[in-house]
């Protein structure tokens, strides 16, 4: 349950121009769309109804979520599916006053099923263009490697992406973290950086603080996705603060995947107060019970964040985004004025 917030904070959260930096587009696949796409393509699902599917969204940890998340992806087959998925997210994000989003996609989940890289990217890019034309919502694509798969598989994926490089801004690293350290992908990330792609990686979600340091040192990432376990290493926390390395934190995801027992226990407020460039994001909102504004509201209520902290969080996301300076300055002053 999301506790009630004072009305001025509700209004502030609604009004904040938001930048979303940790969003898996496949994680925006709502049960209604899963069912509709399954019927359209004649896919047999384990779940017979929207309610049954939504009822299955009870997770003990990251892996129990990933099993359902990858199963849901099976209904995404053609360019229109990827378009429909992304335009639905952009429309929902626009309703939350998201003005810019840097979104992940997991091509290996699709190419492994015989869906071409071009099918995925063409659908996403068409939705990006429509979102900008309709709502002025700009976006970038970050191609993620699945860390439970091999280095060879990641290299093959990078190769498949070559014809579409102009559509990509960065590369990321996601999926099951434990036992799959960043160093496993050091050579792939070196190659991706040489191709002009900006590196980010999930680290310190379920994995140890050492994976955060490894992602910084060996993958040269410019942001850490999640990163909440950084506080197991005080020297690392100091370094993240001094360097203003952004952490793309996802509070409702952390709650749903049992990374924290209670939102009130979340270290987001402490990390923010310690000067880290903490941001709030929704990760896989169709599965975790809330989009970005829900994450702001739930976190503000659980941690007692005030207006200044909420504005700082929104400004951190502007600082952490890959935006031209003029847009950055404009958004920062828009937030200041609220
Ligand atoms: N962690 C790792 N892999 C993921 C996630 C996440 O939160 N969401 C989708 N793939
Ligand atoms: Zn994620």
pLDDT at residue 230 greater than cutoff 70: yes
Residue 3: pLDDT band with limits 50, 70, 90: low
Query: What is the gyration radius of the CA atoms in the chain, in angstroms?
Result: 19
Residue 199: pLDDT band with limits 50, 70, 90: very high
How buried is 191 (Cβ within 10 angstroms: 0-12 exposed, 13-18 middle, 19+ buried)?
middle
Best residue for ligand 1 mutational test, from 24, 207, 229 (most atoms within 8 Å of Cβ): 24
Report how far Cα 169 is from the mean position of its chain's Cα atoms.
Answer: 14
pLDDT at residue 197 greater than cutoff 60: yes
Nearest Cα to Cα of residue 197 among 228, 172, 180: 172
- Measure 337 CA to ligand 2 centroid, in angstroms: 31
pLDDT given for residue 4 in this prediction: 84
Contact yes or no for 315/12 (Cβ under 8 A): no
Please identify every residue annotated as catalytic: 205
The overall average pLDDT reported for the chain is 98
pLDDT tens, position by position, 100-145 = 999 999 999 999 999 999 999 999 999 999 999 999 999 999 999 9
Cβ of 174 below 6 Å from ligand 1:
yes
7-332 has which fold? TIM Barrel (3.20.20)
pLDDT given for residue 136 in this prediction: 98
pLDDT at residue 1 greater than cutoff 60: no
| Per-residue CA distances from 144 to 22, 107, 173, 278, 316 (Å) | 12, 7, 5, 21, 23
* CA-proximal residue: ligand 1, atom 3 (nearest): 175
Which whole number is the average pLDDT over 227-246?
98
- Measure 183 CA to ligand 2 centroid, in angstroms: 19
pLDDT tens, position by position, 269-290 = 999 999 999 999 999 999 999 9
Which whole number is the average pLDDT over 2-8?
85
Instruction: Express as a percent the part of the chain with pLDDT over 90.
Output: 99
pLDDT tens, position by position, 296-337 = 999 999 999 999 999 999 999 999 999 999 999 999 999 999
pLDDT at residue 262 greater than cutoff 80: yes
Contact yes or no for 268/305 (Cβ under 8 A): no
Cβ of 256 below 6 Å from ligand 1:
no
Best residue for ligand 1 mutational test, from 284, 285, 289 (most atoms within 8 Å of Cβ): 284
- Measure 11 CA to ligand 1 centroid, in angstroms: 30
- Measure 174 CA to ligand 1 centroid, in angstroms: 5
In angstroms, how far apart are the furthest CA atoms of the chain? 54
Alpha helices (H) along the chain: 7-15, 31-41, 50-55, 62-72, 79-95, 107-111, 117-135, 151-161, 186-194, 209-219, 234-243, 251-256, 268-273, 285-288, 292-303, 307-320, 325-336
Burial 135-145 (b: 16+ CB within 10 A, else e): eebbbbbbbbb
- Which of ligand 1's atoms lies nearest the C-alpha of 253? 7
Give the three-class secondary structure for 279: strand
Which whole number is the average pLDDT over 30-58?
96
| Domain range summary for the chain, segments of one domain joined by + | 7-332
164 DSSP assignment: G
pLDDT given for residue 2 in this prediction: 57
Contact yes or no for 206/178 (Cβ under 8 A): yes
What the block records as the tokens of 314 is 């929104």
Residue 201: pLDDT band with limits 50, 70, 90: very high
Cβ of 108 below 6 Å from ligand 1:
no
């Amino acid at each position: 349950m999301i506790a009630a917030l004072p009305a001025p904070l509700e209004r502030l959260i609604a009004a904040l121009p938001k930048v979303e930096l940790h969003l898996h587009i496949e994680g925006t696949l709502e049960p209604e769309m899963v069912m509709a796409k399954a019927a359209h393509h004649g896919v047999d699902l384990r779940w017979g109804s929207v309610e049954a599917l939504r009822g299955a969204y009870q997770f003990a940890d990251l892996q129990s979520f990933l099993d359902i998340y990858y199963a849901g992806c099976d209904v995404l087959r053609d360019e229109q599916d990827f378009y429909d998925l992304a335009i639905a997210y952009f429309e929902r994000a626009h309703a939350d006053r998201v003005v810019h989003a840097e979104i992940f996609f997991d091509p290996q989940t699709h190419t492994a099923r015989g869906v071409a890289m071009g099918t995925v990217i063409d659908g996403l890019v068409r939705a990006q263009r429509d979102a900008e034309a309709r709502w002025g919502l700009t976006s970038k694509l970050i191609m993620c490697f699945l860390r439970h798969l091999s280095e060879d598989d990641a290299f093959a994926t990078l190769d498949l992406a070559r014809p579409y490089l102009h559509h990509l801004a960065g590369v990321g690293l996601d999926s099951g973290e434990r036992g799959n350290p960043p160093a496993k992908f050091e050579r792939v990330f070196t190659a991706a950086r040489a191709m002009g792609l900006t590196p980010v990686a999930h680290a310190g979600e379920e994995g140890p603080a050492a994976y955060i340091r490894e992602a910084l040192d060996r993958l040269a990432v410019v942001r850490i996705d999640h990163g909440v376990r950084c506080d197991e290493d005080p020297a690392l926390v100091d370094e993240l603060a001094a360097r203003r390395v952004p952490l793309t934190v996802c509070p409702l995801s952390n709650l749903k995947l049992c990374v924290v027992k209670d939102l009130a226990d979340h270290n987001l407020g402490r990390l923010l107060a310690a000067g880290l460039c903490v941001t709030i994001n929704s990760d896989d909102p169709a599965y975790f019970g809330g989009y970005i504004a829900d994450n702001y509201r739930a976190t503000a209520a659980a941690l007692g964040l005030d207006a200044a902290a909420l504005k700082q969080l929104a400004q951190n996301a502007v600082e952490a985004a890959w935006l031209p300076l003029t847009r950055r300055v404009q958004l920062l002053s828009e937030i200041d004025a609220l």
